[in-house]
A and B are shown apart, each in its own frame.
Chain A
Amino acid sequence: MPASSEQAVKLDGDLHARPAGALAVAAARFSASVSLSAGGRRADAKSVLAVMGLGATSGQLVTVSAEGPDAGEAVAAVAAILGRATEVGT
């Protein structure tokens, strides 16, 4: 199990409130710290307000990184939500 993990996801839709909520809920289930970076800014993925405050938009590259015993699973779960952000909608 890796202690740190990272994956970049290109958004095909804006990061709206509902996907931000789903993302924060998913991230909270892991003990690893999880963060998102986009456009030179960084946000705690477990904070829905911070994720929304990132203001990530369609076409932007968002990097998910995690540190902790379950970092790999945390990154996979969060990246999967980012990947389907368009389907979740607003």
Chain B
Amino acid sequence: MNPDGTVGIVLVSHSAALAEGAAQLAAQISGGTVAVVPAGGTDDGDLGTSAEKVRQAVGQADRGAGVVVLPDLGSAVLTVRALLADDDDLAASVELADAPFVEGAVAATVAAVGGGGVKAVLSAAEEAWHARKF
């Protein structure tokens, strides 16, 4: 791992539009200097998740300091877990976050822009469970 790189973020959603929108929002709020890569929908463009899309997104997001992956719901978690179980190299650079999707994406991206390492970015995402909107 390259300590000088920033942590990348991958947003895995059943919906391509949701993943893209969340990535756009997180990039805007954080100032957009880290990789926030959406991986939404199936390979056919339907609602669902794609291991291949996740693999490509992780590759794009990885700048040498690790990647935090946020799944939206249910089988998005299973897709990422299955992918990591089959690929040790990928698993070595990826942390899977158990976090609310939008809030976690924003918190993780801001933490990455702030220079946080992979564990700090993961914590920022997971702390989103405790953040009240008002």
Chain A residues near B (Cβ < 8 Å) = 17-18, 20-22, 24-25, 27-29, 46-50, 52-53, 55
Contact = CB atoms under 8 A, between A and B. Distances in A.
Main secondary structure of the interface of A (DSSP, over half): helix
Main secondary structure of the interface of B (DSSP, over half): helix
B30 A53 contact: no
24 contacts: A17-B28, A17-B29, A17-B106, A21-B30, A21-B31, A21-B106, A25-B30, A25-B31, A25-B113, A28-B110, A28-B116, A29-B114, A47-B124, A47-B127, A48-B107, A48-B110, A49-B103, A49-B127, A49-B128, A49-B131, A52-B133, A53-B131, A53-B134, A55-B134
B78 to A, nearest CB: 27
A21 B116 contact: no
A53 B107 CA distance: 12
Interface residues of B, number: 21
Contacts, number: 53
Contacts of A46: 114
B119 to A, nearest CB: 14
B106 A48 contact: yes
Contacts of B114: 24-25, 27-29, 46
Contact of B110 (A24, A29, A53, A55): A24
Contact of A53 (B115, B124, B133): B133
A47 to B, nearest CB: 7
A53 to B, nearest CB: 5
Contact of B29 (A28, A48, A53): A48
A28 B103 contact: no
Interface in B99-134: 103, 106-107, 110-111, 113-116, 124, 127-128, 131-134
